[in-house]
């Protein structure tokens, strides 16, 4: 199936067939990372710019690794060392970068909607690597890829997402993606961290973490996004861990072959205990490995062949 998009901005605008296409392409890409020589010439001569206005370890590095495994050239620009500090706007920055003729710009920004602003103005492919509290589509795609790889399907699975849903762009994109592919999603967290009307996103809400975990095929834990909160939304991290943290006793309530996931970075002992994070059901590092394959697939589908 052909993929005719210029940009990857969110999960909402993708059809389930397009999601399948991306996941299938990623499955083909994955083995490249396990070869002795981890490089193919697919995107030779292409240029990818990584424009990150927020910190990142996994997303930025895996886009960089993904592009280089496809032989594209990558260049990074960070907020603190860019002319943003001299008053240049995001659009002016992006237009100047576009003048250097990149094929794709991967952007992470604290403002929801920033990637859309660029997508409408630039001819380079724009890939949303996380915008404010709005969306993190490549995280959702790698999460779906990882679950599909482990379970052989997405439809019919029950997914529990627990934590700071309000401030999590991962939660929004995951709820959209998993429900689009036929899974059911249940969310749970403190009342101050569940957005009003979360049901409209397609998720069911429950009050107690035990209820969310009971029988779940997948349990996805989220960190408390302090950097996006105005004031403290919980009495203490210790109290949060006691009421909402995933420990071995709570994990035992899930399906016997549960997958424990976390987009990272994890806060050990807060939302997830070390025994669970490092335990036999944890696939947290598989998510990171698969992030490279999914981002290779996206770069290939969006950039490969464009302008030929």
Interacting residues toward ligand CP by CB under 6 A: 56-59, 130, 139, 263-265
Residue 194 CA, chain-centre distance (Å), reads: 19
| β-pair type (259-261, 218-221) | parallel
Residues in contact with 176: Cβ distance below 8 Å, sequence separation at least 6, in sequence order: 10, 11, 12, 140, 201, 202
For residue 160, how many C-alpha atoms fall within 13 Å in the half-sphere facing its CB? 29
In the complex, what is the shortest distance from the CB of residue 260 to ligand CP, in angstroms, rounded to a whole number? 15
Closest approach, Cβ 130 to ligand CP, in A, equals 6
CB of 135 to ligand CP, least distance (A): 12
- Letter string b/e over residues 190-219, b meaning 16 or more CB atoms within 10 A of that residue's CB: beebbbeebeebebebbeebeebbbebbbb
**249 burial type by CB count under 10 A (0-12 exposed, 13-18 middle, 19+ buried):** exposed
> Please, what is the minimum distance in Å from the beta carbon of residue 265 to ligand CP?
6
Q: Which residues pair with 104 in a beta bridge?
A: 48, 125
Which is nearer to ligand CP, 137 or 263 (by Cβ)? Answer: 263
Residue 223 or 250: which CB sits closer to ligand CP? 223
Q: Which residues contact 121 (CB under 8 A, 6 or more apart)?
A: 91, 94, 95
Q: Is 208 helix (H, G, I), strand (E, B) or coil?
A: coil
| For ligand CP, the closer CB: 57 or 123 | 57
Q: Comparing C-alpha atoms, which of 44, 24, 39 is closest to residue 308?
A: 44
Distance of closest approach, residue 85 Cβ to ligand CP, in angstroms = 22
Sign, Cα dihedral of 275, 279, 284, 285: positive
Cβ 262 to ligand CP, closest distance in Å? Answer: 9
Q: Which is nearer to ligand CP, 130 or 189 (CB)?
A: 130
Asked if residues 78 and 304 have their Cβ atoms less than 8 Å apart, the reply is: no
User: 130 vs 195, which CB is nearer to ligand CP?
Assistant: 130
Q: How far is the CB of 57 from ligand CP (least distance, A)?
A: 4
194 Cβ contact list (under 8 Å, min separation 6)? 165, 166, 187, 188, 205
Q: Which is nearer to ligand CP, 42 or 189 (CB)?
A: 189
Q: Which is nearer to ligand CP, 42 or 142 (CB)?
A: 142
């Amino acid at each position: 199936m052909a993929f005719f998009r210029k940009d990857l901005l969110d999960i909402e605008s993708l059809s389930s067939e397009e999601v399948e296409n991306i996941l299938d392409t990623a499955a083909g890409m994955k083995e490249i990372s396990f070869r002795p020589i981890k490089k193919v010439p697919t995107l030779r001569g292409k240029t990818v710019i990584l424009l990150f206005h927020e910190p990142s370890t996994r997303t930025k590095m895996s886009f960089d690794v993904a592009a280089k495994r496809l032989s594209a050239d990558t260049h990074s620009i960070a907020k603190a060392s860019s002319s943003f500090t001299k008053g240049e706007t995001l659009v002016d920055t992006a237009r100047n970068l576009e003048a250097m003729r990149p094929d794709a710009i991967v952007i992470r920004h604290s403002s929801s909607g920033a990637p859309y602003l660029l997508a409408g103005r630039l001819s380079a492919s724009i890939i949303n690597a996380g915008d404010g509290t709005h969306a993190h589509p490549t995280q959702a795609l790698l999460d779906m890829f990882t679950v599909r790889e482990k379970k052989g399907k997405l439809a019919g699975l029950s997914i529990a997402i627990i934590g700071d849903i309000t401030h999590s762009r991962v939660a929004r994109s995951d709820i959209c993606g998993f429900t689009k592919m036929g899974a059911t999603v249940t969310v749970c967290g403190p009342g101050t961290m569940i957005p009003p009307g979360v049901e409209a996103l397609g998720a069911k809400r429950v009050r107690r973490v035990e209820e969310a975990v009971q029988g779940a095929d997948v349990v996805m834990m989220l960190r408390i996004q302090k950097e996006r909160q105005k004031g403290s939304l919980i009495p203490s991290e210790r109290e949060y861990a006691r009421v909402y943290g995933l420990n071995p006793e709570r994990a035992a309530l899930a399906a016997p072959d549960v997958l424990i996931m976390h987009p990272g970075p994890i806060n050990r002992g807060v939302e997830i205990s070390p025994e669970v994070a490092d335990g036999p059901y944890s696939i947290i590092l598989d998510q990171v490995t698969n992030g490279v394959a999914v981002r290779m697939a996206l770069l290939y589908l969006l950039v490969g062949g464009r302008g030929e």
